[in-house]
Structure 1
Amino acid sequence: MEAPVLKTPVTPKKSVGKTGVLLVNLGTPDSPSVPDVRKYLREFLMDGRVIDIPLIPRSLLVNGIIAPFRAPKSAKIYKELWTDTGSPLKYYGQVVERELQKALGDAYVVKLAMRYQSPTIEAGLREFRETGLTDIVIVPLFPQYASASTGSVYQKVMEIVKPWDVIPAIRFVNRFLEHPKFIEGFAQNARKYIASYDYDYFLFSYHGLPESQIRKGDVTKTICQFGDCCGTFHAMNQHCYRAQCFETTRLLVKALNIPEGKYITSFQSRLGSDPWIKPYTDEVIKELPGKGIKSVLAFSPAFVADCLETTIEVGVEYKELFEQAGGQHWQLVESLNDSPIWIEALVDLVKTA
């Protein structure tokens, strides 16, 4: 009987799949109209990680008080912010989406999403799913981790993919405040102002959070004291938003060679009567001219794209507050927006996620 001929198994060619990259920013109304602003506020503030109280009282507060009364006022401010290209936050996000796609090449598919409103996280993930991508990198565009921002993005992504039969490999960028190109991007923007004016003082203003949220993040219940606990950055406080903000300031101060005693870290945009993390930016500003400080270079390093909180709140409202208190020169350092070094930073973040 003739022995069977054994054939060498054919090894199938390896298929190189693409990686999906979802860039997620906070969000913006679809237009500066009152209905669109109200819709945005409702979605944003009904997030249990943003206002972390039980659902029923949160719904009564947001839908019965905040959204109806705040929407008309906010709509007026959004009209000041709006440009011919629409919302700056969304516009810069779309430019970054295109530029990052070019920089990463054909092995990646880059999509922009907003945690609230459009384009939605669900739409981006659905497109990845329908095109067969099973390797996904989520990049929340928040330099410092907070439950109300990055944590909310994590939760939303997991809620969306939870019922899928095939759940893809998902990697998250947690924070990037320490990334050298993130720091250098803000430093580059600041140097042109420093070169043309001798500033008395430097203010680093970050979006605020309720103290209660910071306490919840301290799982040891021993670290967070709202004082010197943020004086250094270490393993036990590295997830604290306030500590991360102070560390961001230290890194920028070092990059710009700002002397000790000529800068401060503060927090803006508080809402409601509960205590928020301090010091409060508006209260700090009122005191500066009385200390002989007549010129300030202001930073908003919690935002990678100019938006209402940077352009209007820090750039316009705080400037007026400073001048009313006796200040003479106030300058806002713009966000990273679509700068080349920001694209380079994102490439690094995606490839090392």
Structure 2
Amino acid sequence: MSIGVLLVNLGTPTSSAPSDVKRYLTEFLTDGRVIDLPPLKRNLLVRGIIVPKRYKESAKLYQSIWTKEGSPLLVYGKKVEALLQEKLGEAYQVKLAMRYQTPSIEEGLNALKVSKKLIILPLFPQYASATTGSVHQKVFDILSNWEVIPEVRFIDQYASHPTLIDAFCARGKEYDLESYDHIVFSYHGLPERQLRKADQTGTCLKTTDCCQKNPRCYAAQCLATTKAIVKRLYISPEKWSHCFQSRLGKDPWIKPYTGPVLQSLVEKGAKRVLVFCPAFVADCLETLEEIGSQYRKEFTEAGGEVLDLVRGLNDHPKWIDTLEELVR
């Protein structure tokens, strides 16, 4: 009996067709950990307003990043699955799953059902209830119906894992860092209320040093990742900024927001900017389209000259090394 390893990323539509994007968005946004409203209100909002309003435009955005092989998130996920399997050997069985759509977590777990141990490894370096927490809950729900439940290990975060930082730095070194006026670290945002709900210290967003008092906070973990990369690459304090992207709705999200940060850099004379997205381990809509297209356009229209996006870890050898170390 082998040790089962379930790699889980967020998910992707099965195609860039509007109907498939609509199906994906509906499953994603009706998750109570993603939009943390009462079920009736959440479903009315998602099914009645958000998805009908957004799915056709979202389909166009997915079409802009779609490759001949399919969704970059899934394409690289399959490559990582194969490379990690090769690294770990026959004592392990590796399966890729997506929290939303296919391949599903249930499919992955069923394929690993005879394992003597299960290791659940979400592909999110920083823990958030809406990502890692949702994956863990889904796994709990499925395993609760099994007659025989093996030993299970959940990996919750690895924001500052040394080999992960090596991997991000290796990607950064593919660019001439000295040629940029500024380097931006942009992470997926969360509503501030979700940070407060997850806070077990009573300090979140109440003091300027709350991240130091609550290291398990998502925002604190993002900052820890940034500081580790900055330290390893010897980036001076005045040359980097830390911010959050991908807002949805009118409620306040974690600040500072990426758009205003880039606008401020232009106003201060920065012409060439490099952007890391260390919350994402693979190229996806939020990196390729949001940063690489939308924000690049806004930056150049505001007077900037170059906005480059650091490639995702994708199937980089250092990323595979990171996953191997976490599993072993």
Which band: TM-score by shorter chain? over 0.9
Residue 225 of structure 1: how far off its partner (Å): 2.3
> Pick from 54, 61, 76: which aligns with 1:70?
54
Preserved CA contact (<8 Å) 2:196 2:204: no
Report how many residues are paired: 328
Structure with max Cα Rg: 1
Give 1:192's aligned residue. Answer: 174
> Pick from 144, 150, 175: which aligns with 2:132?
150
Summarize deviations over 1:129-163 as a string: whole Å, max 9, x none: 1xx21300000000100000000000000000102
Residue 223 of structure 1: how far off its partner (Å): 4.1
Residue 179 of structure 1: how far off its partner (Å): 1.1
SS in 2 for 1:113: strand
> Pick from 72, 97, 104: which aligns with 1:120?
104
Return 5+ residue gaps in structure 2 as ranges.
none
Preserved CA contact (<8 Å) 2:203 2:214: no
Write the distance in 1 (CA, Å) between the matches of 2:108 and 2:172.
34
Q: Is structure 2 residue 315 aligned with structure 1 residue 335?
A: no
**TM-score (normalised: structure 2):** 0.98
Write the distance in 1 (CA, Å) between the matches of 2:204 and 2:64.
41
| 1:206-225 correspondence to structure 2 within 5 Å | 206-225=187-206
Write the distance in 2 (CA, Å) between the matches of 1:32 and 1:222.
42
Preserved CA contact (<8 Å) 1:218 1:224: no
Q: Is structure 2 residue 304 aligned with structure 1 residue 320?
A: no
Residues 226 and 336 (structure 1), Cα distance of their counterparts in 2 relative to 1, 3 Å cut: farther
Write the distance in 2 (CA, Å) between the matches of 1:209 and 1:88.
23
**TM-score (normalised: structure 1):** 0.91
| 1:1-353 correspondence to structure 2 within 5 Å | 17-129=1-113, 132-194=114-176, 198-225=179-206, 227-230=208-211, 232=212, 236-351=213-328
Write the distance in 2 (CA, Å) between the matches of 1:227 and 1:244.
15
Residue 77 of structure 1: how far off its partner (Å): 0.3
Percent identity between the aligned chains?
54
Residue 226 of structure 1: how far off its partner (Å): 6.5
Kindly provide the amino acid, as one letter, of the partner of residue 66 in structure 2.
Answer: W
Residue 228 of structure 1: how far off its partner (Å): 3.1
Write the distance in 2 (CA, Å) between the matches of 1:153 and 1:267.
22
SS in 2 for 1:288: helix
Preserved CA contact (<8 Å) 1:100 1:346: yes
Preserved CA contact (<8 Å) 2:201 2:214: no
Write the distance in 1 (CA, Å) between the matches of 2:227 and 2:241.
10
Kindly provide the amino acid, as one letter, of the partner of residue 153 in structure 1.
Answer: V
Preserved CA contact (<8 Å) 1:42 1:62: yes
RMSD: 1.1
Kindly provide the amino acid, as one letter, of the partner of residue 244 in structure 1.
Answer: Q
Write the distance in 2 (CA, Å) between the matches of 1:24 and 1:165.
23
Preserved CA contact (<8 Å) 2:160 2:225: yes
